[in-house]
Amino acid sequence: MLIQRKSDNIILPSEITPREFVDARRQFLKQLAMGAAGGTGLLEMAGRQAFAQSDSPRKLAATTNSSYVVMDNRTPYKDATTYNNFYEFGTDKSEPAKTAGSLKTRPWTVSIEGEVSKPVKLDLDSLMKMAPLEERIYRLRCVEGWSMVIPWIGFSLSNLIKKVEPTSNAKYVEFTSLADRSQMPGVRDDVLNWPYVEGLRMDEAMHPLALLTFGMYGEVLPNQNGAPVRMVLPWKYGFKSAKSIVRIRFTSSQPKTAWNLAAPHEYGFYSNVNPDVDHPRWSQASERRIGEDGYFTKKRKTLMFNGYSEVAGLYSGMDLRKYY
Ligand SMILES: Nc1nc2c(c(=O)[nH]1)N[C@H]1C(S)=C(S)[C@@H](COP(=O)(O)O)O[C@H]1N2
Ligand SMILES: [Mo]
């Protein structure tokens, strides 16, 4: 039986209208009655696992980790795979689904380098075998003001970090995405300083929520969602979750991230979801849940750290207005 995440309890009744509260509660009870939070019943899971081994090559077997399942309805697959930010394939959200087919995701090598005792170049299969694959249902919120709820498949990045043994100089982790003009039409435009680079502080990267991700909705990642391997950092704005990663580098100084270089006043290094600190162009106080928008659909209140309050300790004593 899947259980409600502990951190979901941080939605205080005082923060939401009685109507929303009643609806959320009703929905949760309905999901319980169906057998699971998030709409995936145990029988369905068992069935999925059973044919995951044998069926289509896209299937990816994983065991649901019930500690990381949000109670919200999952975003329809169609929406999650046709409304994407992946600038290497164009800046329009409908473009990646149309143009990312040209990305060759095998063979694929990820180079682990920098301040580690055991630098290594890993092919995708070796990387995927570093730890058991888990399914986790996470919220992901874009700084543009929309959010989704997606069943991702991967494992905590900490599994990999421990194996490569960072040196005492390793204070940050930098992620670099592929930037290949021949496969990625968007890289011909200089909207960003290619390659796409993102970064985390070491303790953020070690947090169990930081997911090295290979699949979603029971299958390997569609190219437009960052195949064959990406990060998912549910307490940070979507752009921190680099797609199609080819290099993970451990550094002593703070990585220069692509979005921070492009617009330092808009995108800071930390970029934690924070309803109290607005982006210069978009309010961060509320969000539109993709797949449920309609004329009468109310926006949802955005939660501190996107509802993942367990990360708060990483930032204690930091002024989050300054370190945005
Ligand atoms: N390499 C790369 N990674 C990227 C992006 C990108 O343009 N290039 N966009 C980011 C942004 S802004 C968001 S919101 C998420 C979107 O992930 P999704 O398409 O799976 O929802 O990917 C992030 N990772
Ligand atoms: Mo985003």
Q: Is any atom of ligand 1 closer than 6 Å to the C-beta of 223?
A: no
Ligand 1 in reach of 90 Cβ (< 6 A): no
**pLDDT (tens digit, 9 = 90+) per residue, 163-187?**
999 999 999 999 999 999 999 999 9
pLDDT at res. 43? 42
Within 10 Å of residue 89's Cβ, how many Cβ atoms?
Answer: 26
For 218: left if phi > 0, alpha if psi spans -120 to 50, otherwise beta; the answer is left
Task: Evaluate: CB of 236 within 6 angstroms of ligand 1.
Answer: no
Of the candidates 251, 103, 91, the residue with the CA atom closest to the CA atom of residue 175: 251
Which pLDDT does position 55 carry in this prediction? 65
Distance 165 CA to ligand 2 centre (A): 31
243 lines ligand 1 (CB under 6 A): yes
Kindly report the CA angle at 182 between 181 and 184, in degrees rounded to 5?
60
**Strands of the 109-114 sheet, one edge to the other:** 120-123, 109-114, 245-251, 172-177, 197-201
Q: b/e per residue, 14-33, with b = 16+ CB within 10 A?
A: eeeeeeeeeebeeeeeebee
Q: pLDDT tens-digit profile of 104-147?
A: 999 999 999 999 999 999 999 999 999 999 999 999 999 999 99
Residues with Cβ within 8 Å of residue 60, at least 6 apart in sequence: 52, 133, 153, 214, 215, 218, 219, 220
* Ligand 2 centre distance from Cα of residue 181 (Å): 22
d(CA 305, CA 311): 7
pTM: 0.85
CA of 84 to the centre of ligand 1 (A): 7
**CB of 216 sitting under 6 A from ligand 1:** no
The C-alpha atoms of residue 313 and residue 277 are separated, in whole angstroms, by: 19
pLDDT tens, residue by residue, 53-73: 456 889 999 999 999 999 999
Find out whether the beta carbon of 66 lies less than 6 Å from any atom of ligand 1.
no
Ligand 1 site, residue 75, Cβ cutoff 6 A:
no
Per-residue pLDDT at 292: 86
Instruction: List domains and CATH numbers for the chain.
Output: 13-315 (3.90.420.10)
In this prediction, the residues of the chain whose per-residue pLDDT falls under 70 are 1-55
Pocket test for ligand 1, best of 79, 232, 241 (most atoms within 8 A of CB): 241
CA of 236 to the centre of ligand 2 (A): 10
Q: Which tokens go with 22? A: 């009643």
Type of residue found at 187:
V
CA-to-CA separations, 265 to 194, 218, 257, 268, 320, in angstroms, rounded: 19, 38, 13, 7, 14
> What's the chain's Rg over C-alpha atoms?
19
